[in-house]
Amino acid sequence: MLNMTANKEHDEARQGEAFALFANEPDQYKKFFYIESYGCAMNFADSEVVASILMDNGFGATNNYKEADLIFINTCSIREKAETTVRKRLTEFRQIKKQKPGMLVGVLGCMAERLKAQFLEEEKLVDLVVGPDAYRTLPGLIEEAETGQKAVNVLLSRDETYADIAPIRLNSNGVNAFVSIMRGCNNMCSFCVVPFTRGRERSRDTASIINECKTLFEQGYREVTLLGQNVDSYYWVDEQKDERVTFAMLMEKVALISPLLRVRFSTSHPKDITDDVLFTMKKYDNICNYIHLPVQSGSSRVLQMMNRTYSREWYIAKVNRIRELIPDCGISTDMITGFCTETEEDHQESLSLMEYCKYDLAYMYFYSERPGTLAARRFEDDVPLDVKKRRLQEMIDLHRIHSLQSMQRDVGKTFKVLVEGVSKKSENDLYGRTDQNKVVVFEKGNLKVGDYVTVKIDSCTAGTLIGRVL
């Protein structure tokens, strides 16, 4: 279940997804834990780290929370909706805890970091509150909570990367895996809470990343997604080798593991997508031609208020450069509508930018003020909710047109596709993704998950390519 499409955005179908590894010898575990994950790919990857720590300390996993001794919710604070969903879910656990008084409930991740002790005061159900840099302390915190004490550790770290912890790939399809290469963010976009919940940027030791990717390949995995809040700012200094490793160099090292190992990455800040990155993508066939390039707004004035550090014109030039060097590159984006002071003219500029870029995929939201951010402190959230929703719908409607056009352009083309699983609609069909991150459905035949196949596209919907294996 952890092979989430590579992006930092919320896959709404996966929110609250629970997962478990069922042991052949369940008696070996003293207690069982249950984790639900919300938010971005980083959170789902973090849950794999948490699982590894817990299992090393004698806890087994279950996907039935009624059987669990420990319930954890790995949370997100990026939008108000995500926090509301988590609070509602906590109330649902209240009943089961009444029936099982010894059960512990913990909140992990960004929401834990942001709200801290408020969780213990407002949500009487919660026994543990653990921030994203404090997962190593979970065994001690659990022992503390078992005595009846509330256990909290939300300290942020300048150097924690969990580089030495091998994530447990719970409910994986054995083909796709996330590999965290860095944590935190230094960009300080005015609308974003991430720098406050995940701390400053720190890159992971290059050797540990390569070793993890090699191990995954040897175990049969055929695609890795290099993850970070801002992967392109990855930078590691190996003093022993007197080597400085940039993101482009890291990608090359991973690509060289095997031509059969696909490499993806997420997520990027436009300012850090350098020509070196693009040339490396162009050089290696197994680095997927797909870039998530969040723009957030098409208005230079709004972009400045957002502290995005680029203008509309600069962003367009970056898109043009990507398409110049990698003509078939898939490009997706994030868009926020209704940001503070946004006018109809600003909104139209966002729509016109979408019209220019014609994104293959877009994640669109109306602005949700997050307490503690620069925008919350400096600006009034002055765009009425009905206006935000109307503008968002206009964005969605426009993108649907572009998405369908993007799919239609691929009809008649042939793609190399990695088989990732069985189609949700039919057990006789399989699905995979193109290099450009588009989902393809085709007949199962004698194929199996992990195979590479050549598929010719015969038709499409707005979200799926339909083809046949050649």
Instruction: Give the CATH number of the domain where residue 433 resides.
Output: 2.40.50.140
Within a domain: 346: no
Instruction: Give the CATH number of the domain where residue 50 resides.
Output: 3.40.50.12160
Q: What pLDDT digit, counting tens, does each position of 320-329 carry?
A: 999 999 999 9
Average pLDDT over residues 77-81: 73
Q: Give the per-residue pLDDT at 5.
A: 31
Q: Residue 2 — pLDDT band, cuts 50, 70, 90? A: very low
Within a domain: 73: yes
Q: Give the per-residue pLDDT at 7.
A: 36
Q: Domain end: 153, 188, 221, which one? A: 153
Within a domain: 293: no
Number of domains observed in the structure of the chain? 2
Q: What pLDDT digit, counting tens, does each position of 238-297 carry?
A: 888 888 999 999 999 999 999 999 999 998 999 999 999 999 999 999 999 999 999 999
Q: Give the per-residue pLDDT at 393.
A: 98
Q: Give the per-residue pLDDT at 17.
A: 57
Within a domain: 358: no
Within a domain: 357: no
Average pLDDT over residues 116-120: 69
Write down the pTM of the prediction. 0.87
Which domain range does residue 438 map to?
A: 414-469
Within a domain: 127: yes
Q: What pLDDT digit, counting tens, does each position of 382-427 carry?
A: 999 999 999 999 999 999 999 999 999 999 999 999 999 999 889 8
Asked whether 145 and 151 are in contact (CB, 8 A), the reply is yes
Within a domain: 42: yes
Q: Domain end: 114, 135, 153, which one? A: 153
Beta-carbon contacts of residue 397 (< 8 Å; ≥ 6 apart): none
Within a domain: 198: no
In this predicted structure, the answer to whether residue 3 has a pLDDT above a threshold of 90 is: no
Average pLDDT over residues 202-206: 95
**What letter does residue 287 receive in the DSSP assignment?**
B
DSSP sequence for 354-414: HHHH--SEEEEEE----TTSHHHHHS---S-HHHHHHHHHHHHHHHHHHHHHHHHHHTT-E
Q: What pLDDT digit, counting tens, does each position of 151-201 carry?
A: 999 888 989 999 999 998 866 788 999 999 999 999 999 999 888 888 899
Q: Give the per-residue pLDDT at 4.
A: 30
Residue with tokens 């780290």: 49
Helix and strand tally (H, E) in the chain? 14, 22
Q: Domain end: 93, 118, 153, which one? A: 153
Q: Give the per-residue pLDDT at 10.
A: 44
Whole-number mean pLDDT of the chain?
A: 89
Asked whether 430 and 422 are in contact (CB, 8 A), the reply is yes
14-23, 124-133, 164-173, 380-389: the lowest-pLDDT one: 14-23
Phi, psi at residue 322, to the nearest 5°? -60, -45
